[in-house]
Structures are given as structure tokens and as C-alpha cells.
Amino acid sequence: MMADRWTRMVRQQVGLGRFLPLGGPYDGAWIAERAASGVLRGAAEREVPEVRLGGVRIGLADPGEAAEPAVPAPPSALPPGPLRLTAEFAATAAWPLPETASRLRTALAVTATERIGLDLTEVDLRITELLDTEPPSSRPGTPETRGGTDTSGGAGMPGAAESEAARAPGSAGVAGAVGGGPEGERVAAVVLRVPGVSRLTGVWGLPVRLGEQAPASGDALPRRHARVDLAVAAGFRPLEVARAVRAAVAEALPDRPTVAVLVTDLD
């Protein structure tokens, strides 16, 4: 049973892709690459319907320019720094290909920076195929078009019961699912009151984690650190929501810990 649970958790984290930095080194926030890619695909469908977007990858534009984050980063997270998006696409001949590529580049760049909050500085595109007809849109409501996680209860994904427990701080379900004991439950309640937070998630099964951050100097005392995994509601900018969550969590605990936010889904 335990081995199966760990296998599902590992598959879930692998499915989320890497964690991309939101904002700069002092923002203490990251977003799952899969969640960001879902929003980018939706933007491509709306703004450039004659294009079928293929593989999308986001990474550091120049690893040498990456900065040390002000708070501990989640596992497999990229350090804050300028990002490069690379993508392949197929397109019809309805528009000249250079113009199509330019429109797609603009749609992806604007969505990444203004809608999500990524520090995107480069967009590299490669056309792979000419289409005879305009590609069909993704079926509305699918995880890809929402940019979020399928919550139908599949392996490794939180089902409806877990999501409802995460929405109801103070219930018996939250105390067992949140982590961090009574303080973790308090953090969960505070986070769910922040505008734009739709639910708590949890890459490794715990949406709230409380621990200690190693001091930068050997003379300093360890400082407590909190990490919150959550989903952001439609219509809200993930970077702004993450900033508000960090401030609310730090204010809610008496020792004002450092806080990191991991956005795993965009609902």
C-alpha cells in the first residue's frame, strides 16, 4: 500500500513538470510547468486559431543569470531568472507563415508575462507541418484548456472528496490532510480566504508544510519555513495571488516564518 502511494505521488510530480519561478528572487513563488503550458495552449487557440501548438518547454534563458531565491525552493524548481519558451507548431496557409509565427509569439509572450507572471524574455518557435484545414479546438472543460489538474479521482490526482476537505478548514478532513497540526490547519484557513485561491493541493500529499530553514550564517538561529501548495482560480494572476498568500501566512503565525508558494493548478 505504501509503495503504491509513493508511486502515485512520484507520477503526479513528474506529470506536473518542472516548477517555474514566478516573479523575481524575492517573490518566493513557483508554478508547475504543466499548469502554465495549459494556459499558453488556450491562448494560442484563441488568438491564433489556424495554429496547432505542439511541444512547449520553458526553461532558463541563461542559467548564469539565475539568482538565489530568498526562500527555500521546492524540489525540481528552477531558480529565479529570465526564461525562454520553446515550442513547435503546425499551421495552415491562411496567413503568411512569418506573420503567423509573429502572432503566436506575441500571444504566448503576453500570456506568460501578463496573465501568469513569468519573467519570459525569449520565445523560440519552429514550424513542423503545414495544415490543410484549421485544427479543431480542444474540448471545453478538459484539463488542457483549463490549465489545471484533472480532479476526476484518477491515480495520483486529488478527487472530489479531497478537494472538498481542503476547502473546509476546521473540519476533521483538513486536520488529517493539511499537515503541520493545528498551526497547519490555521495556515490552511488563512490561505483559503485569500482572493484567487480556489483550493489547496499538495504535490506530496500535504498542501501545508512547516519546517525549519537552515540559517545563511553559522551564527544565526534556524528560522521556521512554510510551504503552501495551491490552485489559483480563473481570472486571477498567479503571481499576485502567491504574493498575497505569502503575506497572509507570515502574518498569521507569531514567529513570521519565511513562506514559499507552489501553484500546481490553474482552475
Contact (Cβ atoms closer than 8 angstroms) between residue 221 and residue 252: no
Strand 83-92 and strand 51-60: the pairing is: antiparallel
Beta bridge partners of 19: 32, 77
- State which CATH number among 3.40.30.10, 3.30.70.1350, 3.40.50.850, 3.40.50.720 fits the domain covering 149-266: 3.30.70.1350
pLDDT given for residue 223 in this prediction: 78
The structure's pTM equals 0.78
Write the pLDDT tens digit of every residue in 208-262: 998 876 555 444 456 789 999 999 999 999 999 999 999 999 999 998 999 999 9
pLDDT < 50: residue spans in the chain: 2, 4-11, 14, 139-176, 217-220
pLDDT given for residue 212 in this prediction: 74
pLDDT given for residue 51 in this prediction: 94
Around Cβ 137, how many Cβ atoms within 10 Å?
A: 11
Q: Which three cell numbers mark 26?
A: 524575492
Please name the residues in contact with 105: beta carbons below 8 A apart, sequence gap of 6 or more.
Answer: 123, 125
Which sequence spans correspond to the domains of the chain? 16-143, 149-266
pLDDT given for residue 87 in this prediction: 96
Please tell me the CATH superfamily of domain 16-143, with its number: Cation efflux protein, cytoplasmic domain (3.30.70.1350)
In three-state form (DSSP H/G/I as H, E/B as E, the rest C), the secondary structure along the chain is CHHHHHHHHHHHHHHHCCEEEECCCCCCEEEEHHHHHHHHHHHHHHHCCCEEEEEEEEEECCHHHCCCCCCCCCCCECCCCCEEEEEEEEEECCCCHHHHHHHHHHHHHHHHHHHHCECEEEEEEEEEEEECCCCCCCCCCCHHHHCCCCCCCCCCCCCHHHHHHHHCCCCHHHHHHHCCHHHHHHHHHHHHCCCCEEEECCCCCCCEEEEEECCCCCCCCCEEEEEEEEEECCCCCHHHHHHHHHHHHHHHCCCCCEEEEEEEEEC
Q: Which three cell numbers mark 266?
A: 490553474
pLDDT given for residue 17 in this prediction: 79
Same fold for the domain at 16-143 and the one at 149-266?
yes
Please name the residues in contact with 60: beta carbons below 8 A apart, sequence gap of 6 or more.
Answer: 66, 78, 79, 81, 82, 83, 84
Closest to 246 measured CA to CA, from 25, 26, 28: 28
d(CA 236, CA 257): 25
Q: Which three cell numbers mark 48?
A: 491564433
Find cell 476547502 and name the residue.
167
